[in-house]
């Protein structure tokens, strides 16, 4: 019995102190409000943060059950029980940054400022613009990552560096674009991938909703083919660092390469974070003759037309509806 007891004590001490445990990096989990200690421990065992739920249960019996706070928590794999207990008892040690489609890098940075310390945010901003993180879609010599990061949720753990964060955004975009048939170096309708991404960004902002995007993309293609100016308000708003709102006659005269009323062709760079839906229709727009569109109801429905007279009629319909 003494030998058995000594063996149990030895096993317990090995588990508690993670002796010989595999240490392969960090694991991040989302703990929901009201989650039980046992459910959290089972997840940590499955992810090799803890080696034994039985030993941790015994540890909790001796030292008291740990508190469990809601939020995102990062744990090193092969952690000691004391370390896990300390992490669980503290506030969330990991931020979750949500990057919506339609955001600009400027807006991503503004959101990040509300969550992370200023030095971290400043380093992320530099990484977005100084060329230290590159995308396979960038034109030669470009350090601009606008439009080349993916929407979604990004976890920022204690081990995440600014470069790690920006790299993950770029890599996720590459995976998303490739899945939509737009690999780096691809040629679509005689145009390079960067041009297609730029088109997708205009579609994202002008289409508003997925149901409008395909025809918006076709309008862009038709206007480019006809050598017409795009005349897209979103490009002017981007130049003015605005997100939405009415475009005035004075704004239409904004001297900027992004002003698609004064300049022909696409803007020089993408103008926002694009979704997979916008990319898909930029890669493969539907067949159609449309050259004009406008929002015609308060749900965001857009009406498309082939002549300017039809466009004027749709604009009048919108005005009659209070838009």
Final residue before a domain boundary, out of 39, 58, 89? 89
319 three-state secondary structure = helix
Same-domain status, 312 and 191: yes
Final residue before a domain boundary, out of 141, 156, 177? 177
- Give the tens place of pLDDT for each residue, 69-121: 888 899 999 989 999 999 988 888 889 899 999 999 999 999 999 999 999 99
Same-domain status, 77 and 107: no
Q: Is residue 160 part of a domain?
A: yes
Cα→Cα distances 237→100, 240, 292, 297, Å:
18, 5, 19, 22
Helix (H) or strand (E) holding 252: none
d(CA 94, CA 119) in angstroms, rounded, equals 17
Question: Looking at the predicted structure, is the pLDDT value of residue 207 above 80?
Answer: yes
The structure tokens listed for 201 are: 């960004």
Same-domain status, 58 and 22: yes
Q: Is residue 301 part of a domain?
A: yes
Q: Specify the pairing of strand 95-99 against strand 26-31.
A: unpaired
Angle between helices 193-207 and 276-283 (to 10 degrees): 120
Q: What pLDDT shows up at residue 108?
A: 97
Residue with tokens 């969330």: 92
- Give the tens place of pLDDT for each residue, 123-132: 999 999 999 9
Confidence class for position 164, pLDDT limits 50, 70, 90: very high
Same-domain status, 48 and 147: no
User: Which ranges of the chain does DSSP label H, i.e. alpha helix?
Assistant: 2-16, 37-46, 53-63, 81-89, 105-113, 118-129, 162-179, 193-207, 210-225, 233-239, 276-283, 308-320
Question: Looking at the predicted structure, is the pLDDT value of residue 180 above 70?
Answer: yes
Confidence class for position 66, pLDDT limits 50, 70, 90: confident
d(CA 159, CA 236) in angstroms, rounded, equals 39
Question: What's the whole-number mean pLDDT along residues 55-68?
Answer: 88
Q: Is residue 10 part of a domain?
A: yes
Question: Looking at the predicted structure, is the pLDDT value of residue 229 above 90?
Answer: yes
The whole-chain average pLDDT of the chain stands at: 92
Q: What pLDDT shows up at residue 7?
A: 64
What is the residue range of 7's domain?
2-89
Q: Which of 3-7, 246-250, 256-260, 296-300 has the highest mean pLDDT?
A: 256-260
Helix (H) or strand (E) holding 71: strand 71-76
Can you say whether the dihedral through the CA atoms of 173, 175, 181, 187 is positive or negative?
positive
Same-domain status, 83 and 10: yes
d(CA 89, CA 192) in angstroms, rounded, equals 52
Q: What pLDDT shows up at residue 24?
A: 80
Same-domain status, 245 and 202: yes
Same-domain status, 311 and 203: yes
Same-domain status, 203 and 310: yes
Same-domain status, 196 and 147: no
The structure tokens listed for 179 are: 């899945």
Q: What pLDDT shows up at residue 33?
A: 87
| Number of domains, the chain | 3
Q: Is residue 182 part of a domain?
A: no
Q: What pLDDT shows up at residue 16?
A: 80
Specify the pTM. 0.84
Q: Is residue 62 part of a domain?
A: yes
Confidence class for position 23, pLDDT limits 50, 70, 90: confident
Q: Is residue 118 part of a domain?
A: yes
Q: What pLDDT shows up at residue 106?
A: 97
- Give the tens place of pLDDT for each residue, 26-53: 888 889 888 898 999 999 999 999 988 9
- Give the tens place of pLDDT for each residue, 232-267: 999 999 999 998 888 899 999 999 999 999 999 999
Question: Looking at the predicted structure, is the pLDDT value of residue 8 above 80?
Answer: no
Question: Looking at the predicted structure, is the pLDDT value of residue 20 above 80?
Answer: no
d(CA 102, CA 234) in angstroms, rounded, equals 11
Final residue before a domain boundary, out of 177, 211, 237? 177
The lowest-confidence range among 15-29, 219-233, 245-259, 298-312 is 15-29
Q: What is the CATH number of the domain that holds 39?
A: 3.30.1490.480
Same-domain status, 65 and 150: no
Q: What pLDDT shows up at residue 102?
A: 96
Same-domain status, 161 and 214: no
Same-domain status, 201 and 234: yes
d(CA 43, CA 32) in angstroms, rounded, equals 13
């Amino acid at each position: 019995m003494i030998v058995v007891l000594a063996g149990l004590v030895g096993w317990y001490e090995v588990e508690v102190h993670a002796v010989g445990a595999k240490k392969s990096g960090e694991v991040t989990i989302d703990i929901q409000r009201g989650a039980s200690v046992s459910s959290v421990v089972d997840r940590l065992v499955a992810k090799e943060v803890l080696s034994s739920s039985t030993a941790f249960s015994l540890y909790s019996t001796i030292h008291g059950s740990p508190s469990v706070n809601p939020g995102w928590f990062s744990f090193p794999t092969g952690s000691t029980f004391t370390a896990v207990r300390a992490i669980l008892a503290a506030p969330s040690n990991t931020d979750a940054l949500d990057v919506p489609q339609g955001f600009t890098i400027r807006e991503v940075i503004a959101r990040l400022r509300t969550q992370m310390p200023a030095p971290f945010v400043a380093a992320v901003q530099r990484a977005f613009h100084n060329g230290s993180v590159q995308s396979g879609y960038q034109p030669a010599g470009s350090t601009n990552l606008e439009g080349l990061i993916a929407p979604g949720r990004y976890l920022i753990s204690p081990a995440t560096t600014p470069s790690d964060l920006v790299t993950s955004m770029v890599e996720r975009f590459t995976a998303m674009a490739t899945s939509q048939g737009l690999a780096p170096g691809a040629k679509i309708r005689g145009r390079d991938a960067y041009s297609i991404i730029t088109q997708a960004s205009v579609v994202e902002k002008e289409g508003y909703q997925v149901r409008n995007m395909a025809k918006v993309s076709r309008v862009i293609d038709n206007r480019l083919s006809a050598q017409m100016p795009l005349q897209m308000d979103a490009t002017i708003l981007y130049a003015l660092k605005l997100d939405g709102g009415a475009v005035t006659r004075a704004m239409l005269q904004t001297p900027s390469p992004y002003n698609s009323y004064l300049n022909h062709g696409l803007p020089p760079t993408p103008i926002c974070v694009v979704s997979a839906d916008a990319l898909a229709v930029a890669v493969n727009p539907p067949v159609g003759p449309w050259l004009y569109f406008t929002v015609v109801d308060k749900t965001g429905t857009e009406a498309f037309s082939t002549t300017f007279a039809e466009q004027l009629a749709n604009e009048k319909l919108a005005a009659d509806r209070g838009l």
